[in-house]
Chain A
């Protein structure tokens, strides 16, 4: 597969050169030396351990990173509550070690993998990606992770495998919204990708961000990141991946098929029935209240790399 660098971004979106250069130096230095904790970037999270990743040519380098504080306090992770502040408040109770990821279904070598073994055996990379939520806001996050394809190749998918289904942990004792009478969603949270999407080099399993292990509220210890799709596709705290023949029944689509499709590629031309997808608000940008919305890019700006996956498909019908 041909891997191209991301296209140039409009000059208006680029940070002044001086600031930009200094930012890169600071960030690269802090990340590669594991200094992020030492300079107090993560003073709020005692569990974070340094987890540097090598720079990747697939990173989106021409955008300003969303501040760590926003990345770790503004989350949709309904297992911990529906308010975006809930995960940061409640997720500290989650036990992330030991953690097993079951890989099964149409594979030659099914098995259970320990999260630490997966992390140790992988070549960790820093992947800076835009993240666009279906609710109309976005961030730029420096993930640490490795391509999902590495795991999939290891288990040897059979010829009949067409999709990968993912499941999040169900553990009511540690996930408050999985207890009680009113629960926002049926559990487990299920997501899925077509096999070619799952094998795409941009698709990663993230195990860290900002050069440290993943905070619980961001999907520790291991989560999916698919940067050209709406954020809910990037399932958190994965315990199972199954190679299957038919499209998996993903959670949001089964809740409301008119509003959420299986593909859910970021597409400014296809509105969500309840809100426009033409623009987005970049979290942490501007000064507080006065943030101008910015146009949303097709495939979240990753069209050059991924549009070919959908050649000949009607993206309005397959939203």
Chain B
């Protein structure tokens, strides 16, 4: 997806440096990593409370979920008349993946000490871990194909279809969180609700499109006007 594009030609050099798509994208990566850096720092300096390992593990998982929610919110935001942030979706999606990697690494290395038999037992016997692993596994091909050459290789349509798997990953991640806690309460339900709402909105868009397609006799294409500079890849898909 060609996202490295300046915001507008009239921008001054300095403006481009500060506000250009490139620098915003870069700041997503840099600022996005701050919670991880900060939490690791707190952990290394023994400031993560009584159970630092668990706190680190949960914080990283929570940020993965937050970036997933942010990534999923971009299309509905545009469809509902908000700004079009699609050019930064790749960065947001990759942040979700990086946090999922760190979350998983803490579990595998610090929590389980790479004890393969215990990890395997967890995966096959504990549904919340099975579901969490599913979420991660689904994210892997999406991360691998999140670059221009892969989009070209796959073709926009196939790439889009593949990247709809993020719906599965997000639903599984939300379920993983809900299943982890002992009572139906609080934060896990908030995230599950957000993700459910973002997925249901898409179902709504699709139904509306189909209905309009039937009445106007078109082929189910999105009738809403689309900014000319967007490519098909950017506007559709996830």
Q: Which residues in A have some Cβ–Cβ distance to B below 8 Å?
A: 69-70, 73-74, 78, 82, 84-85, 135, 137, 182, 184-185, 255, 271, 273-276, 278-279, 281, 283-284, 287-293
Contact = CB atoms under 8 A, between A and B. Distances in A.
Nearest to A182: B185
Contacts of B185: 82, 182, 184
B51 A137 contact: yes
User: Most chain-A Cβ atoms within 10 A of its Cβ — which of B45, B53, B184?
Assistant: B53
Most buried by B among A281, A290, A292: A290
A74 B53 CA distance: 14
Given A137-B51, A275-B122, A276-B122, 17 more contacts: A69-B50, A82-B183, A85-B49, A137-B54, A182-B186, A184-B185, A184-B186, A185-B183, A274-B127, A274-B179, A276-B125, A278-B118, A281-B51, A288-B48, A289-B53, A290-B110, A293-B113
Contacts of B65: none
Nearest to B189: A182
B43 interface: yes
A184 B186 CA distance: 9
A46 B187 CA distance: 32
Nearest to A289: B43
Contacts of A276: 118, 121-122, 125-126
Contacts of B180: 274
A222 B64 CA distance: 42
B95 interface: no
B99 interface: no
B127 A74 contact: no
A181 to B, nearest CB: 11
13 contacts: A69-B50, A73-B50, A82-B183, A85-B49, A275-B126, A281-B51, A283-B51, A288-B45, A288-B48, A289-B43, A289-B52, A290-B110, A291-B110
A274 to B, nearest CB: 6
Interface in B125-154: 125-128
Contacts of A288: 43-46, 48, 52
Given A82-B181, A274-B179, A289-B110, A284 B56 contact: no
Contacts of B50: 69-70, 73-74, 84, 283-284
Nearest to A256: B182
Contacts of A69: 50
Contact of A274 (B49, B110, B121, B126): B126
A69 B184 CA distance: 29
B109 to A, nearest CB: 10
Interface in B108-123: 110-113, 118, 121-122
B9 to A, nearest CB: 49
Contacts of A73: 49-50
A185 B186 CA distance: 12
Contacts of B186: 82, 182, 184
A197 B43 CA distance: 40
User: Can you list the 5 inter-chain pairs with the closest CB atoms, starting with the nearest?
Assistant: A74-B50, A70-B50, A184-B183, A184-B185, A288-B46
Contacts of B43: 288-289
Interface in B68-97: none
Interface in B15-34: none
A175 B125 CA distance: 37
Contacts of B118: 276, 278-279
Contacts of B128: 274
B39 to A, nearest CB: 10
Contact of A287 (B46, B125, B179, B183): B46
Query: Which of A255, A274, A275, A284 counts the most chain B CB atoms within 10 A?
Result: A274
Given A289-B52, A289-B110, A292-B113, A255 B183 contact: yes
Contact of A74 (B51, B111, B182, B184): B51
A137 to B, nearest CB: 6
Contact of A289 (B56, B112, B181, B183): B56
B72 to A, nearest CB: 25
A137 B45 CA distance: 21
Nearest to B40: A289
Most chain A beta-carbon contacts within 10 A, residue among B45, B56, B185:
B185
Contacts of B46: 287-288
Contacts of B56: 289
